[in-house]
Structure 1
Amino acid sequence: GSMIDLFLAVPGVQVKAVCDPVRDKAERAAAKVTAAGQPAPTVYAKGEDDYENLCKRGDLDFVYVATPWELHFPMAKTAMLNGKHVGVECPIAMRLDELWQLVDLSERTRRHCMQLENCCYGRNEMRVLRMAHAGLFGDLLHGAGAYNHDLRELMFDPDYYEGPWRRLWHTRLRGDLYPNHGFGPVANYMDVNRGDRASSISSIGTPALSLAEYRKEHMPAGDPSWKESYIGADRTISLVQTAKGRVIRLEHDVSSPHPYSRINSLGGTRGVFEDYPERIYLEPTNTNHQWDDFKKYAEWDHWLWKEHANPPGGHGGMDYMMVFRLMQCMRLGLVPDFDVYDAATWTAPVPLSHLSIKAKGAPLPIPDFTRGEWKKTRSGVDSEKPAE
């Protein structure tokens, strides 16, 4: 409902079809298309599987998936089998075997399957990325990312998530349900899948108390949520080791009260950056053991942020940056900034953290979805501005 505005804002993009089992929502999206001056798109709203008919069309290049998590895998699979590139909201799938299937399908169909990780396009994230690649942090040692976001009110709102689907995942898995926002940017800093790789993960979790406590205080007797038993840890902490020995800390907490934070930190032999609030300490510039102002480093902004200084859309403009860049790559025939190997790697903590917590924090191997290709240098988010 909101992302369609951003696709329509990018020159050269046509929205040819929209799909939602709730016809009113599909028609509202279609109205945005005509309001933007494009022909009315075809509306697919005949049940839960009508997306299959959308994917069969011959006039589509790219399919965008923004649905409950359990539908991400079958929709991405259907899109690729019908010859379409596909971009999927987080996480791209919920099981390890599904991640492997998406990798295999992307290779076999020669179609891109991307995790639409908007946080990789945040201004701070892109600035730190370019500084890291320029060597300002020295040799990289450690990083951290998170999705610490109090969602209790929204998860118990019957309208916001259109039913209890997101809350119900807390009755099924113990681990990190949403690692991508934290993992993606730090993986980019460290060139994961582009010279390094995430090799193992060890996870621990707190008791699952906060959702039940919120329900007790806010939900009336007889509400369907009273039939649910929550097992998802209120806070999950995972340590990821890379092939080069670096350490990435991931956190997930959507159940307990706290301010929003993605942590977003990076440390090396020459200094460290930490976000929320943003601050930096780099030698030889800083030698007084006091944080410095990150705004001083605006010269390191990515070309996207220099070209689009005041982007439209939500999340501070990162959503538009992601859509603009992805559509640019599609139009120009460029390799996207991240691909199915990144999608699988960034999502692997979903099933693996659950298994590690069950095994009392035992480290588990993260599959090499690239099958050894991670050893080769290739392009990523730290891109050069293309010639039109």
Structure 2
Amino acid sequence: MSSNRRDFLKKAGFLSAAAISLPALNNEAFAATSFNMWGYVAPKIDKVRIAVIGLGMRGPGAVDRLSYIEGTEIVALCDRHADRVDKAQTILTGKGLKEAKSYSGDSGWEKLLKEEEIDLVYICTPWEFHAPMSIAAMKAGAHVACEVPIGLTVKECWEVVKVSEATKKHCMMLENCCYDFFEMLTLNMTRQGMFGELIHAEGAYIHDLLDLNFNSKNGYDNMWRLRENIKMNGNLYPTHGLGPIAQCLNINSGDRMTHLVAMQTADFMMGETAREMAAKDSFYQEFVGKKYRGNMDTTLIKTEKGKTMMLQHDVTSPRPYSRLHLLSGTKGFAQKYPKEGIAFGHSFIKEEEMKSLYEKYTPQLIKYIGEQAKQVGGHGGMDFMMDWRLIDCLRNGLPIDQPVYEGASWSVIVPLSCESVAKNSRTVSIPDFTNGNWKVNKPHDITLIGGGTTGIRPKVSKDQSKQLKVD
């Protein structure tokens, strides 16, 4: 651990015993879970006061989406860079909403947590800050919505879980792909038994980010994502592919992931790109000679009930985008990327039959809010459905769709895949963050509106919708 990272964590209270003392970070100590956050109903919040921390790549979009949801007020905005905060303020004022309180600088987020009355902290910062900020926010009395992943180490994932249980504050990792249209369709079909019993599932994040990761002007602040590809050698971004298939397999609510093996190619592109960039611009000299993670990581996972999952991660190769979503059951099959398809035998069903399945199995949530979500945007609407659904649950006193155990178990694949790769693809055990409660937890049905209760009814006016763009 670098001295800068250690100093930061000390400042955040992550390594101190302040506010909430936690047991020693080992499996034996964690076995004594005092509270199960699965299905937990927090007190209703009529108006959800929100602070958004991190206004670089993802934060401004979150500010925009949240501003459309009834029963919300963005009370604070924070980023290291003051100009980003100022720019985000214009999103609010441009819609006739009042400015939020502004915070900036390296410790601005800590000051924010001390000074503001907040119900929900929405975190969109670089990965290394996710766990410390989530923990500090829950200790400060707020629920948390955090971009992926929720933690980068096994220790961080455990501590996020324990603080959520101790404070009884929700900590939802913002896995937006669980709310995409085909993923929700297949989840509903799975729950209705259309595929029989699922046997195997696959997910992926294959996205050529090579140019963006090496973009010093319009890329990630201080090249942080490139630096993560130097520090860690494994599947660094598993949750987009894993989240939707884990829900279909009832992971943490009827089954659990027990162990994995990961195999990875060597790096064939990032090191060479660093050398090419440095030859043109001395700025890139510090990235020359580093050992980068490989192009493609393939991780295989086994569950307690004998089912398997395959995850893939490649953000450097020049190939088409793919967030593979594949379900294979005893009665049927579904796959997304390169195109959507469903089969109940040797070949995919025809287009008219697909339309019929969409009409019959499109979830209530999509029927209710899907068209407005497309207008507001955020990866075609799935971001807005995710945000709307979270606010709906907080306002109506409902269990959230993705409690802390989901974020922890999906994120822990990052360090465990790195461990397996480092050990020449040896088997690595996956912790049970539910501490056995997966046997009794009931699956959450994220396809319903308010779990069958009356939800809030946000509307995008005709005048507004003319100005909205879909991502």
* TM tier, smaller: over 0.9
| 2:181 matches 1:123 | yes
Match of 1:348 in 2: 412
Counterparts of 1:114-263 in structure 2 under 5 Å? 114-158=172-216, 159-228=218-287, 229-263=290-324
Counterparts of 1:39-58 in structure 2 under 5 Å? 39-45=98-104, 47-58=105-116
Q: Which amino acid aligns with 1:297?
A: L
Candidates 384, 389, 393, aligned match of 1:325: 389
Match of 1:275 in 2: 336
Equivalent residues of 2:147, 2:174 under 8 A apart: yes
CA distance in 2, matches of 1:351, 1:179: 11
Cα distance change of structure 1 residues 60 and 297 upon mapping to structure 2, 3 Å threshold? same
State how many pairs are aligned.
384
Equivalent residues of 1:279, 1:292 under 8 A apart: no
CA distance in 2, matches of 1:290, 1:309: 26
Match of 1:369 in 2: 433
Structure 1 residue 377, shift from structure 2 partner: 3.4
CA distance in 2, matches of 1:8, 1:330: 16
CA distance in 2, matches of 1:99, 1:86: 14
TM-score by length of 1: 0.95
CA distance in 2, matches of 1:182, 1:57: 38
Equivalent residues of 1:152, 1:255 under 8 A apart: yes
Unaligned runs of 5+ in 1: none
Cα distance change of structure 1 residues 231 and 215 upon mapping to structure 2, 3 Å threshold? closer
CA distance in 1, matches of 2:212, 2:346: 44
Q: Which amino acid aligns with 1:49?
A: S
CA distance in 1, matches of 2:180, 2:252: 20
CA distance in 2, matches of 1:133, 1:269: 14
Structure 1 residue 227, shift from structure 2 partner: 2.5
Q: Which amino acid aligns with 1:239?
A: L
Q: Note the alpha carbon deviations across 1:339-362, whole angstroms, 9 max, x for none.
A: 110000010111000000111111
Cα distance change of structure 1 residues 290 and 90 upon mapping to structure 2, 3 Å threshold? closer
Structure 1 residue 216, shift from structure 2 partner: 4.0
Q: Which amino acid aligns with 1:36?
A: K
CA distance in 2, matches of 1:230, 1:37: 49
Unaligned runs of 5+ in 2: 1-59, 455-471
Does the residue aligned with 1:16 lie in a helix, a strand or coil?
strand
Q: Which amino acid aligns with 1:157?
A: N
Match of 1:102 in 2: 160
Equivalent residues of 1:337, 1:383 under 8 A apart: no
Equivalent residues of 1:188, 1:381 under 8 A apart: no
CA distance in 1, matches of 2:348, 2:164: 47
Equivalent residues of 1:136, 1:282 under 8 A apart: no
CA distance in 2, matches of 1:321, 1:290: 29
Match of 2:55 in 1: none
CA distance in 1, matches of 2:79, 2:205: 27
Does the residue aligned with 1:33 lie in a helix, a strand or coil?
helix
Percent of aligned pairs sharing the same letter: 36
Structure 1 residue 218, shift from structure 2 partner: 4.7
